Amino acid sequence: MTAFLEALAAPWEYDFWRRALLVALMSGVVCGVIGSHVVLRGMAFIGDAVAHSVFPGIAVAFVLGLDLVLGGAVAGVVTALLIAVFTQNRRLKEDSVIGIFFAASFGLGIVILSTAPGYGGSLESFLFGSILGISDSDVVSVAVIGAAVLLCTALFNGRFVAATLDREQARAVGLPVFRLDVVLHVMVTLAIVISLQAVGNVLVLALLVTPAAAARLLTDRLGVMMLLAPLIGAGGSVLGLYLSYAFDLAAGGLIVLTLTAVFLLCWFFAPRHGLLTRPRRAAAAIAPIEEES
């Protein structure tokens, strides 16, 4: 037991570890909360598109020596707004519009970043994350943006749910559905931006979707889901970070694999919706009927 506690405490002597842990916790919580709405609305593709749309903003910020989080946030918000506007044209399917901006944004980012010397290493860091290289200013940026996203979620949560369950009914009662879509897209963007340094652009969608999907298997109540998802996101992120320290492996990849393992456990063993628990529940329901007959 003592050896286990010493192993848990060992990384805490390093400043980079404490910064990484804070960002992992905050990213897991924020993505878990916002991811609940993403999963309920079936917005995973939008999340992927927004994750790639921040690329040009980060590329510009890198070339000009500006704050990467701010650059990514600006580019992501602009793209989210464009997607929300263009999808209002019913002649175009939503996935078509998203795919167009997905590819264009990523292509623009690659072109911009290629103008900087030594861009290959920077591109790898952006794609796969660099949580152990986070600075104090990055931690502050993540904390401020994350707090703003959580506050906005608390203010708009009821209206988001109403627009998700029945958009036509929401319009009939006077809810501004389009504006709510814009707000939600912007919040998804910000959640993705603060998580990029933890797991990278390629893997950030997993941090947004996987904890919420696991929580969805555990409960039928949205309120409970929005409590479970950030707990799963934060817990999986911290565990993945510890595993990366213990085995000297990529932190972003291990965070995602840890969250995926939690999802698989929920898929098989969730009390009501697990693959292996459903047959037992069905058998338990049938047994009294057979006894009566």
What does the pLDDT read at residue 233?
95
CA distance 267 to 179: 35
| Banded pLDDT at 289 (limits 50, 70, 90) | very low
Answer yes or no: is pLDDT of 216 > 60.
yes
What does the pLDDT read at residue 90?
63
Nearest alpha carbon to residue 20 among 135, 146, 147? 135
Residue 213 lies in a domain: yes
Answer yes or no: is pLDDT of 205 > 90.
no
What does the pLDDT read at residue 94?
67
Residue 183 lies in a domain: yes
Answer yes or no: is pLDDT of 210 > 80.
yes
List pLDDT tens digits, range 8-23: 777 778 888 889 899 9
Residue 184 lies in a domain: yes
Residue 115 lies in a domain: no
Answer yes or no: is pLDDT of 57 > 80.
yes
Residue 1 lies in a domain: yes
Residue 111 lies in a domain: no
Residue linked to tokens 């660099």: 130
Answer yes or no: is pLDDT of 188 > 50.
yes
Residue 173 lies in a domain: yes
Annotate 90-104 with DSSP letters as a single string. Answer: TTS-HHHHHHHHHHH
| Banded pLDDT at 204 (limits 50, 70, 90) | confident
Average pLDDT, stretch 143-164? 92
Percent of the chain with pLDDT over 70: 85
| Banded pLDDT at 60 (limits 50, 70, 90) | confident
Give the three-class secondary structure for 43.
Answer: coil
**Residue numbers of the domain that contains 199:** 1-42+132-269
Answer yes or no: is pLDDT of 149 > 80.
yes
Percent of the chain with pLDDT over 90: 28
Average pLDDT, stretch 115-120? 64
Mean pLDDT of the chain: 82
Average pLDDT, stretch 177-198? 85
pTM of the model: 0.84
| Banded pLDDT at 125 (limits 50, 70, 90) | low
Note whether 32 and 232 are within 8 A (CB): yes
Least confident span in 37-51, 136-150, 242-256: 37-51
Number of domains in the chain: 1
CA-based radius of gyration for the chain: 21
Residue 79 lies in a domain: no
Nearest alpha carbon to residue 192 among 257, 184, 251? 184
Answer yes or no: is pLDDT of 271 > 80.
yes
